[in-house]
Chains A and B, each alone.
Chain A
Amino acid sequence: MLKKRLIAVLILRDGQVVQSIRFKHTNVIHYDPVHAMEAFNKWSVDEIVLLNVSRGSESREAFAQAVEQVSRHCFVPLSVGGWITDAAYARHLLSKGADKLVLNTAFAEDPELVQTLSRRFGKQCIVASIDVKRDEAGTAKVTVDRGARLLDEEPVAWARRAQELGAGEIFFNSVDHDGARKGYDIASIKAIAGSVDIPVIAFGGVFTWSHLLAGIEAGADAVAAANIFHYTEQATRKAKSFLAAAGVPVRSEGQSLAQPARAAPKFAS
């Protein structure tokens, strides 16, 4: 039986791990993504997502270098995204050790690129990142360009289209919930998970372990978080213990809780 996955998200701006609050990235959490990643690796996280939210496309090569460094020590699947605007760069990221490509704006700007990458590298390699934002009427609409541009598109239809274009997974986030500590956008996750055949990863807003459980109960195949994992010692192990106690099938393998021996991560002052 497939286990529900617990995913740690590392958001990188100009090479540093930052906190994300409603898609604003000002607080540096770690100076070095490798340190953050190594902690997650030891804490039995099931997968890592590394996103480049730098404002300029000139960040692409430095991000590829970060992918290379992280992947060298990453022995769980690694998904990477941000500024993937052409096939050559996608291939470059894969050659640096990425396992999956996270695409967001490309689904609006260049659907052909999505199709090309899906055909070339397989559906399992393509993660459709879908960000939503509620408009004035409270209706969730799709947004791209790191939340900067609101499209007149319904999340469910967008998710179905992403699947048709060759996505193998949906990585869902909500601008309104991101970093807001009120849990996932459950209504949107439930609607999307009920209308696509591919796995849905819930992201955005986790502040308690029960938020993770709510994501699973809404139909997500995997639950992701960022900020909370950086601020809690042994975070992913604690999250898993909570989910397991609630009856969610999770992978239990990992180092013993009694062995916290690791280099202290470099926290920003």
Chain B
Amino acid sequence: MSTLGIIDYGMGNLRSVQNALEEIGQPAALVSDPVQITGFDKIIIPGVGAFGEAVENLRAGGMDSALREHVAAGKPLLGICLGMQLICRKSYEDGEHEGLGWIDAEVRHFPPAGGLKVPHMGWNAVDYDAPHPLLNKVASGADVYFVHSYYVDCAAAADSLGTTEHGLRFTSVVGHDNVYGMQFHPEKSQHVGMQLLRNFAALN
């Protein structure tokens, strides 16, 4: 079994992610000290909150450099919700912020559209055409739980592993080399979410 670390950088819902991993028999440790990162095979960046503050928190403690080393070593990394946005190049949430930049994508606010509510909150379908180990045993069209006002706009279509419709079609599962992201909360998406976490835990 691989060792899994959850980055604790003061941005919410770590416990939920840890509980879900425990449920699937994959224990995970919270990591608040960057020097600990090298001890883990896989890293999850969870997160709820504002992009700017999150990036600042990651940089303040040198967590960003430690994460870069992890990714450069070819080890898998998963960003969840805000974590998926943080691994992108740039966000337009309250100004402009540079992200960690592993995914060539920009993070934008949902455009105002008739009748559609923002935040995009609730259960919605993830659709995909091409199979991927991260989507193993999850049917295209399965519902997962979303809460977000900003979406990831990928420059390269190949990085978009799954998409979801909310006024526009956006990337809800992203992957580039060993870096992955899920815009929804797998830890709050019941059986489907558990399977997705199992899939990440099983990646090489």
Within 8 A of A (CB), among B93-123: 117-123
Contact among B12, B122, B145, B194 for A199, CB-based, below 8 A: B122
Q: Does A12 contact B (CB under 8 A)?
A: no
Contact among B147, B165, B189 for A75, CB-based, below 8 A: B189
Q: How far is the CA of A121 from the CA of B125 in the complex (A)?
A: 26
Residue interface mask A80-102, B partner, CB < 8 A = 1: 00000000000000111101000
Q: How far is the CA of A199 from the CA of B121 in the complex (A)?
A: 8
Q: Which residue of A lies closest to B147 (CB)?
A: A124
Whether B190 lies near A76 (C-beta < 8 A) is: yes
Whether B119 lies near A253 (C-beta < 8 A) is: no
Cβ of B32 to closest chain A Cβ, rounded Å: 14
Whether B191 lies near A124 (C-beta < 8 A) is: no
Number of residues of chain A lying within 8 A (CB) of chain B: 36
Q: Does B29 contact A (CB under 8 A)?
A: no
Residue interface mask B15-30, A partner, CB < 8 A = 1: 1100110110000000
Q: Does B59 contact A (CB under 8 A)?
A: no
Q: Does B13 contact A (CB under 8 A)?
A: yes
Q: Does B49 contact A (CB under 8 A)?
A: yes
Whether A97 lies near B19 (C-beta < 8 A) is: yes
Q: How far is the CA of A252 from the CA of B123 in the complex (A)?
A: 10
Cβ of A25 to closest chain B Cβ, rounded Å: 28
| CB-CB under 8 A for A253 and B124, given A75-B20, A124-B48 | no
Q: Does B143 contact A (CB under 8 A)?
A: yes
Q: How far is the CA of A125 from the CA of B190 in the complex (A)?
A: 19
Q: How far is the CA of A73 from the CA of B165 in the complex (A)?
A: 29
Inter-chain contacts of B166 with A (CB < 8 A):
2
Whether B192 lies near A253 (C-beta < 8 A) is: yes
Contact among B19, B50, B117, B145 for A197, CB-based, below 8 A: B117
Q: Does A131 contact B (CB under 8 A)?
A: no
Inter-chain contacts of A5 with B (CB < 8 A):
122-123
Q: How far is the CA of A254 from the CA of B193 in the complex (A)?
A: 12
Q: Which residue of A lies closest to B20 (CB)?
A: A75
Inter-chain contacts of B194 with A (CB < 8 A):
75
Q: Does B198 contact A (CB under 8 A)?
A: no
Q: Does A266 contact B (CB under 8 A)?
A: no
Within 8 A of B (CB), among A217-269: 221-222, 251-255
Whether B15 lies near A125 (C-beta < 8 A) is: no
Inter-chain contacts of B50 with A (CB < 8 A):
122
Whether A253 lies near B117 (C-beta < 8 A) is: no
Q: Does B142 contact A (CB under 8 A)?
A: yes
Whether B190 lies near A99 (C-beta < 8 A) is: no
Inter-chain contacts of B117 with A (CB < 8 A):
197-199, 221
Q: Does A178 contact B (CB under 8 A)?
A: no
Inter-chain contacts of B16 with A (CB < 8 A):
71, 97, 99
Whether A77 lies near B190 (C-beta < 8 A) is: no
Whether B15 lies near A97 (C-beta < 8 A) is: yes
Q: Which residue of A lies closest to B14 (CB)?
A: A95
Most A C-beta atoms less than 10 A away, residue of B120, B123, B125, B147: B123
Interface of A with B (CB < 8 Å)? 1-3, 5, 41, 44, 46, 71-77, 94-97, 99, 121-125, 168-169, 197-199, 221-222, 251-255
Ranked 5 nearest A-B pairs via Cβ: A251-B143, A3-B123, A251-B123, A97-B15, A124-B147
CB pairs A–B below 8 angstroms (16 shown): A2-B123, A2-B166, A41-B190, A46-B122, A46-B145, A71-B15, A75-B187, A97-B15, A99-B188, A123-B149, A124-B149, A125-B48, A168-B121, A251-B143, A253-B192, A254-B190
